[in-house]
Amino acid sequence: EPEVTQTPSHQVTQMGQEVILRCVPISNHLYFYWYRQILGQKVEFLVSFYNNEISEKSEIFDDQFSVERPDGSNFTLKIRSTKLEDSAMYFCASSEVGARNYGYTFGSGTRLTVV
């Protein structure tokens, strides 16, 4: 069964450093997403991406965050200057046209720890 792949599985970074979280969505999917889950809390929407541009973003997704699809297969989330409160599990997801019928396929997540 096709999978969404995320790397790394765990990233530790110092406050103020830049991090890039990587995702390889399912190859025939057209919509891509990032969500985050602070430990033990709600799964929160960050951003959706379609046709090489952001289609929607949440209030959390401020100027520190950016997304990119650099080469047609990877989908990355960059956090420019990490803060302690950015520590969370970050999930990438993708969907085909008709997400309302099929839902999203999620990756296993990257646990980001900012120290």
Partner 1 sequence: GDSVTQMEGPVTLSEEAFLTINCTYTATGYPSLFWYVQYPGEGLQLLLKATKADDKGSNKGFEATYRKETTSFHLEKGSVQVSDSAVYFCALFSGGYNKLIFGAGTRLAVHP
Closest separation in Å from C-beta 26 to partner 1: 13
Q: Rounded to whole angstroms, how far apart are CA atoms 60 and 58?
A: 5
Closest separation in Å from C-beta 16 to partner 1: 28
The vertex-65 CA angle with 64 and 68, nearest 5°, equals: 140
Cross-strand partners of 90? 36, 110
Q: What is the dihedral of CA 55, 59, 65, 69, to 10 degrees?
A: -20
Contact residues for partner 1 (CB under 8 A)? 6, 33, 35, 41-45, 48, 55-56, 91, 93, 99-109
Closest separation in Å from C-beta 58 to partner 1: 9
Closest separation in Å from C-beta 107 to partner 1: 6
For partner 1, which is the closer residue by CB, 14 or 52?
52
For partner 1, which is the closer residue by CB, 18 or 56?
56
**Phi, psi of 99, rounded to the nearest 5 degrees:** -60, -25
Cross-strand partners of 42? none
For partner 1, which is the closer residue by CB, 82 or 94?
94
